[in-house]
Structure 1
């Protein structure tokens, strides 16, 4: 595997202390990408910009940015105007606050990165990691990457600083904004007890390696079969019956019975750990 390449370099600003760091992605995507082909000759199709008024192709040098303010009404914005108000290109992760991690709803997190100390910054890096671990806090910071300003959370994990880019508050939808929330329904004691037993029967330690991208594997198998010239029979998807009303308790009990047969429980009433054991424990902050 090729050595990881830093996608950003700068420094963590911590009071009057600056800690030079490099930013590396913690996640690599395994998305399968397809190209659009012409069904008659298998040629790869090209996308072109066409003006709907005269039907002619428009080249990039003849395009401008526009913001729609009404039906077919646009405000033109020049590139230099955007550049004039762009965030300052300071290569600094500026820490604003330290907060408890449990006080942050996971929905605010977006992408995960590792922060690695640059040369001669190991001691300062270790200092902030240790201080945050002992305080039980994570840092909320701002930084600019590739012309975009980000809100971020810095958290210590096993002696390493991780940076999670975050959504701003105005980007997050609250349950109160949904038409069907909050849910108003009455549940019976028997239903609740059966549901609690089902949760207990499926409870175990989190082992990331147990959960595979099954759909991706099926797509790869399909590609392999088609590449060998095999005929593939498409089966219609099986639609699951919806559960509600008087069926709920019966469905819960059937699920509980099935879970007990598949997953023998230990003396504590929870499912026994998988063969590979529990996932590597991460230090809590």
Structure 2
């Protein structure tokens, strides 16, 4: 049973709604320890001074902000704590905006907001109002001594909170090199590309997409644990560059049409 990682209240105007915050995702990352090849002895990493190669005890280590090569400003934990945002249990809504106005590049991590005891009515009121107006709330809150910008949106029968990057953390597209020129493609090629997209169109089904590499690694580890000999998969041959765009589009469409399992898709009528 998932446990809340934070509890507090959503506040906007004079309204306060007690809520609990739950993780909406659980990352499944493979972790490996470093071992010595000869005897599988566990490798430990030590904090060593770059000048004399001597290990430095934790109480002698301080934080340094690098100004230039080998020049630092030393900052103590006490100085950082004095500047930390005051502990707060509030999610303070500052604005309501259209969902389409927020570029997904700003989103960082997702959480579920669940009403706390006695807050169901007020929670449902906010949820329904946001669904009716098709608005998303922008708010600030403090989690683990750090202030976050967040977007709160309705998702069926609950509210989802997504922490966001601040504007100065997002790389501006104007800073990128070799951006494609704004040129209208030939009509025939554009129609072929549209047909290819339509032929591959389907409803989003998250379970369809699996981390195949992770599954293969876990299967290999299981076989090794059972004593089975493994083999190395041959490297895939590198594909050449596509030169003729039109030919590539035509070949893609032809391959889809020739597939026995391919069936014409019907577009769902909108209610």
Quote the offset at 1:240 in angstroms. Answer: 3.8
> What corresponds to 1:250 in structure 2?
247
Q: In 2, Cα distance between the equivalents of 1:83 and 1:196?
A: 55
Task: Report SS of the residue matched to 2:20.
Answer: strand
Note closer, same or farther for the CA distance 1:232–1:22 as it changes in structure 2 (3 Å cut). Answer: same
Q: In 2, Cα distance between the equivalents of 1:257 and 1:33?
A: 43
Which of 207, 210, 218 is the matching residue for 1:209? 207
Higher mean alpha-carbon deviation, 103-112 vs 255-264, is at 255-264
Q: In 2, Cα distance between the equivalents of 1:183 and 1:215?
A: 36
Note closer, same or farther for the CA distance 1:188–1:243 as it changes in structure 2 (3 Å cut). Answer: farther
Does the alignment pair 1:138 with 2:113? no
Quote the offset at 1:170 in angstroms. Answer: 0.7
> What corresponds to 1:38 in structure 2?
36
Higher relative contact order, structure no. (Cα contacts within 8 Å, ≥ 6 residues apart):
1
> What corresponds to 2:7 in structure 1?
9
Q: In 2, Cα distance between the equivalents of 1:240 and 1:25?
A: 40
Does the alignment pair 1:83 with 2:81? yes
1:187-202 correspondence runs (5 A): 187-202=185-200
- Asked if the contact 2:199–2:265 (Cα under 8 Å) also holds between the matched residues in 1, the reply is no
Q: In 2, Cα distance between the equivalents of 1:240 and 1:186?
A: 31
Quote the offset at 1:106 in angstroms. Answer: 0.9
Give unmatched runs, 5+ long, in structure 2. Answer: none
Quote the offset at 1:4 in angstroms. Answer: 0.7
Q: In 2, Cα distance between the equivalents of 1:243 and 1:127?
A: 55
Does the alignment pair 1:167 with 2:186? no
Deviations 1:78-120 (A, max 9, x none): 1111111111211110000000111111111111100111111
Deviations 1:57-77 (A, max 9, x none): 112111000000000110000
Q: How many residues align?
A: 267
Task: Report SS of the residue matched to 1:195.
Answer: helix
Which of 242, 258, 261 is the matching residue for 2:258? 261
Which of 230, 233, 237 is the matching residue for 1:232? 230
Quote the offset at 1:182 in angstroms. Answer: 3.8
Q: In 2, Cα distance between the equivalents of 1:237 and 1:174?
A: 37
Q: In 1, Cα distance between the equivalents of 2:254 and 2:147?
A: 51
- Asked if the contact 1:175–1:182 (Cα under 8 Å) also holds between the matched residues in 2, the reply is no
Higher mean alpha-carbon deviation, 218-227 vs 138-147, is at 218-227
Give unmatched runs, 5+ long, in structure 1. Answer: 274-285
Task: Report SS of the residue matched to 1:192.
Answer: helix
Higher mean alpha-carbon deviation, 21-30 vs 227-236, is at 227-236
- Asked if the contact 1:111–1:166 (Cα under 8 Å) also holds between the matched residues in 2, the reply is yes
Deviations 1:35-73 (A, max 9, x none): 111111112211111111111111211100000000011
